[in-house]
Amino acid sequence: MLHPDGLGATPYPHDPAEAKRLFEKGGWPSGRPIRIATPSPFAGIAQIIAGDLRRALDIAVEVVVVPDEAALAGARALVEKKLDQPWDLLVHAWFDLSSEAPPAAVHREYFGKDGAFRAGPLDDGFDALFARMAVELDGAELVRIAEEIDAYCFDNALAVFLCAPQALYAVNNHVSFGPYRTTFEIAEVTVDEGHWSRRAGGPQTATAAVAAAASKEKPGFAGAAGNAC
């Protein structure tokens, strides 16, 4: 979730041969396909993942698209930890509600003992780290533990996080972006003359930028897809 350069992490190498070796070492049942479940909006992403697995592991992969009318019941079963699920991998969308402590809104939900979306066994290492973060009052130490949790999830490959570009906060070089203490609100963002939303004039806030851009073809901040600046 956090930028790997800041954690001293090395990106996972794309090594299909090693992936196949480790997969076979794990003792996957012979002849059993991998089942990927996905809600209908992410069916295309699931098919891409399935194709990668077929090529790398030389194994059958089935994609199960959960119909809209069954999505609520499936989500309830996952949250209630009725974990005899008919899938091996789940493509699932979530988002972060905090700028300083992503594990509180993301990592805990997937890996914590009380996480709504945890589908695997309890992870004592993760829970111990999160317990430290939950009672930390010092802001700088809170961020440090959050980064430690992120590194733990990365090093142990607890999940594969896929970026959704249309839902990504982005800031270009012409934006002065100071996130709030708890959220990424952009109500007070300022832009300089080089930003696409600007007309001639002095500095203005994002709210003013929206008004200034209202008559142009390009959207203002409020209409920018993906909350991108």
Within 10 angstroms of residue 62's Cβ, the number of other Cβ atoms is: 12
Whether 97 is covered by a domain: the verdict is: no
Six token digits for residue 173? 């070089």
pLDDT of residue 18: 94
pLDDT of residue 82: 74
Q: Could you report the per-residue pLDDT of 128-139, keeping only the tens digit for each?
A: 999 999 999 998
Whether 80 is covered by a domain: the verdict is: no
pLDDT of residue 65: 93
Q: Could you report the per-residue pLDDT of 64-89, keeping only the tens digit for each?
A: 998 888 888 888 888 888 767 788 99
Q: How confident is the model at residue 8 (pLDDT cuts 50, 70, 90)?
A: low
Q: Could you report the per-residue pLDDT of 126-184, keeping only the tens digit for each?
A: 999 999 999 999 988 988 999 899 889 988 988 887 776 655 555 667 776 665 544 55
What integer is the mean pLDDT of 4-9? 56
> Greater confidence, 95 or 17?
17
For residues 178 and 155, give the distance between their C-alpha atoms in angstroms, rounded to a whole number: 30
pLDDT of residue 79: 84
Examine the pLDDT at 38 and tell me if it is beyond 60. Answer: yes
pLDDT of residue 73: 86
Whether 132 is covered by a domain: the verdict is: no
Contacts of 11 (CB under 8 A, 6+ apart): 4
Task: Please give the share of the chain, as a percent, with pLDDT higher than 90.
Answer: 31
Examine the pLDDT at 2 and tell me if it is beyond 60. Answer: no
Whether 171 is covered by a domain: the verdict is: yes
Query: What is the value of pTM for the model shown?
Result: 0.65
Examine the pLDDT at 42 and tell me if it is beyond 60. Answer: yes
Q: Three-state SS for 134?
A: helix
Q: 203 is in which domain, residue-wise?
A: 166-227
Whether 71 is covered by a domain: the verdict is: no
Whether 120 is covered by a domain: the verdict is: no
Question: For the chain, what is the domain count?
Answer: 1
pLDDT of residue 213: 38
Whether 219 is covered by a domain: the verdict is: yes
Q: Could you report the per-residue pLDDT of 174-225, keeping only the tens digit for each?
A: 776 665 544 555 555 677 777 777 765 444 444 443 333 333 333 333 333 3
Whether 149 is covered by a domain: the verdict is: no
For residues 180 and 64, give the distance between their C-alpha atoms in angstroms, rounded to a whole number: 40
For residues 165 and 75, give the distance between their C-alpha atoms in angstroms, rounded to a whole number: 24
